[in-house]
Structure 1
Amino acid sequence: MNHVVTAAKRPESAANLPELMQRVAHGDEDAFSSLYDIVAAPVLRAAHTVLRDPAQSQEVTQEVLVELWHTAPRYRTDRGTVMNWVLTLAHRRAVDRVRSTAACSAREKRTAQLAHTPVFDAVSEEVETRMEHEQLRRCLLTLTEAQRQCLVLAYYQGMTSRQIAERLSLPLGTVKTRLRDGLIRLRDTLQVPA
């Protein structure tokens, strides 16, 4: 059986790439098919060299070829050969994929660490809170009844000095003095720096 390759069926070569790119830039699907046949294998090899993963290399190859179809009008002959341009696209895509994968892996690792790291120790927090409340309760007992009454109304019930004065039927100055003296005594008892 004699195989004759006619001009219409002759496989395209790398020498035809500039002409093919020009036709692809004008939306010629047949030219893209021929371009695809020439560049697909080198693009796959370039992607695999960077990625070392067959599945990801194939995905990147597909992305590069789709990008090639869309960006063909931007190809400029004065900046290098078609093959170099295509392989540059492939290399950049592969590097982007490596960076994306690394960033995703780092995010997942941080998320996993956060999921396993307690935000705080609930038992310690509860013990500390109870100890502080107990210390404050003991300190309040060192105050006079008048001071304690004014402080409780101000800090536990949220009343203003004027509201306390009205409620206790006291002059406003007396309430302010009791609050000030009570806070000074608490500070000294709790040993809080002034």
Structure 2
Amino acid sequence: MIRDPKDLKRYTASERANHWVIGICFILLALSGLAFFHPAFFPLTMLFGGAVWARILHPFIGVLMAIAFFIIFARFWKINRMSKVDVEWLKRANEMVTGDDHNMPEQGKYNGGQKALFWSLGVCMTLMTLSGFLIWRAYFGFDINLVRLGAVVHSAVAAVMIAFIMVHVYAAIWVKGTVRAMWYGTVTRAWAKQHHRAWYRQVTGK
């Protein structure tokens, strides 16, 4: 794909790699987790070499995802702090959904919806990590009541997280020009000016 040299840099190679590690781990965890959750999904364990290997690999992939997620969280938490402009954006999100986003409040690198998702996923990932350790009985011997609590929390939060990620993926595909940012690290100036005008002004000085 030939890209315009005037395109704006949105993500570095390491940031994109970090994102893809999280994405791949999430897919593997969702598939194996569903296999454990209900017998109808049990055949998914064959993707991992069978039920035993699925059980062995699931928590280790979870640890890798947690590490990758908290690295990216540490990188971006400051820029994702909510402001009054973001709250106003969220109040008018219906305009964005209907496609009439030209009069939305000017946004920085991330809009109110992206910031809300960022913090929501941060809470989910924290709960998933803590509950995951509670139910990882091969290495930890927590009280059975804690194990049961961990299993409930892990399953419930996993369902919420899957829903959040589906929204995230849909939004990235729906807003044309967004996905290329994670493939190539760049976005067009027109895209930046329309969807993140304050960030566009910041990086271009216009």
TM-score range, shorter chain: under 0.3
TM-score, structure 1 normalization: 0.22
Structure with the larger RCO, 1 or 2 (CA within 8 Å, 6+ apart): 2
* Structure showing greater Rg: 1
Where is the helix percentage greater, Structure 1 or Structure 2?
1
